[in-house]
Amino acid sequence: MPVAVILLAAGQGTRMNSDLPKILHPLASAPLIAHALAAARALEPERTILVTGHGADAVEAAARSIDPDLRVVEQTEQLGTAHAVLQAAPELEDFEGDVVVLYGDTPLIRPETLEAMLATRAGGAAVVVLGFEAAEPGTYGRLLLGPNGGLEAIVEARDATPDQLAVRLCNSGLLAADATTLRGLLAEVGTDNAKGEYYLTDVVGLARGRGLAVAVITCPEAETLGVNSRADLAAAEAAFQARARAEAMANGVTLTDPATVFFALDTVVGRDATIGPHVVFGAEVTVESGAIILPFCYFEGCHISRGARIGPFARLRPGAEIAENARIGNFVEVKNSIVEEGAKANHLTYIGDATVGRGANVGAGTIVCNYDGVFKHRTEIGAGAFIGSNTALVAPVSVGAGALVAAGSVVTSDVPEGALAIARARQENRPALGRRIMERLRALKAGGVH
């Protein structure tokens, strides 16, 4: 059965107290909307329709950067959830299949939950609602079941009676229905409620009035967490990280101190990798099986190959490609560079816009000077080359295979294969001059000169 997804993302999120639209706030190094889109993609929808409102242009741009094939409609007036879904109706006029309604500010929904909703739809229910047992139901809408376990109605807390408020089965807001049925039910939704809005929840009572079967499936409450405030965002981050850590360990990754490791939405870590304490993954990072990540590292936009050893205190920036069995050590930063198999940069080094050849060694304190103030330039270090400590490689420059650069050199010209490059002033020793200078300086200080 074809599937379409309607993703509601029109809300302003006033409680976030921010100029940024709510669903663009980052969670696990990705905007909230990216999480909802990731869950939707797992259904392989025939079409995905994004309903925007507040900050429509920014929201659309961010969403299209994730899914260029989105269909986008705008809810110019905020008249309720049913009204928001109705904005997507023109994009579904020729669609025959199931429709799933998701929310951009509900980032923790699992694809398995959405698949269970669709399976229940396929089992005969005209409408399927996702519910959860709330520890503290509070202002959640209540799901009222009939004698046979079917859903009779959804009552918003502000419209509920005391007996209905005692119900702990609550509405997540997510819904699945046949497209034709949903269009017909939405056309009948009115505004007879405390807020005078078009509630999507009213489709349940309308469906029951037509004699249609309405079912509820449930998921853990944590999965339905909506983000409406900074506190909610922090809670969602904590929940995401707890889930990501558990999944990583279940998949064979060693986390020596799980609570201090932070993953991004798209982090990929292979089996038998080891990750030490206080490691943070930004977006677009892949770590292959068997890699070892030592404590206090930060990664983004990089690839770490099998058997590589990184850290401690290393930073890999976008475009860093670390090959098998390479070594990136403490206080080493790599950006837009390839460090080939077995190469090493073990201490206090910056490698930017460079290739470090197979088995090469980059000594402590080496700096690749890749930026001239306007343009970036590349540096090529050949296989087996040895770069002495405290060297500056002024790009564009190349060091040939097997070449040796003496410590303290400033290299501005290419070094041929196998050559020794020495690019520093000749040392001169002036007998006793150092002692005389220091004595003079101490006398000045004693005399009050600062």
Q: Looking at the annotation, which residues are catalytic?
A: 347
Reference 117, options 126, 107, 106; nearest CA is 126
Structure tokens, 120? 């229940």
Do 303 and 268 form a contact (C-beta atoms < 8 A)? Answer: no
Distance, CA of 323 to CA of 330 (rounded, Å): 18
Closest-CA residue to 156 (of 193, 196, 198): 193
Q: Give the phi and the psi of residue 220 in degrees, each rounded to 5.
A: -60, 145
Q: Which two tokens stand for residue 139?
A: 């202002």
For the chain, helix (H) and strand (E) counts, in that order, are 9, 35
Q: Which residues contact 186 (CB under 8 A, 6 or more apart)?
A: 82, 85, 86, 89, 203
Check if the beta carbon of residue 265 is closer than 8 Å to that of residue 282. no
Contact 7, 48 (CB under 8 A): yes
Q: Which of 384, 315, 398, 299 is nearest to 349 (CA)?
A: 315
Residue 47, strand partner residues: 4
Q: Parallel, antiparallel, or unpaired for β 3-9 and 47-52?
A: parallel
Nearest residue to 39 (alpha-carbon basis) of 228, 229, 172, 182: 172
Q: What is the enclosing helix (H) or strand (E) of 85?
A: helix 81-87
Please give the span between the terminal C-alpha atoms of the chain, in angstroms, as a whole number.
83
Phi-psi region for residue 307, left (φ > 0), alpha (ψ -120 to 50) or beta?
A: left
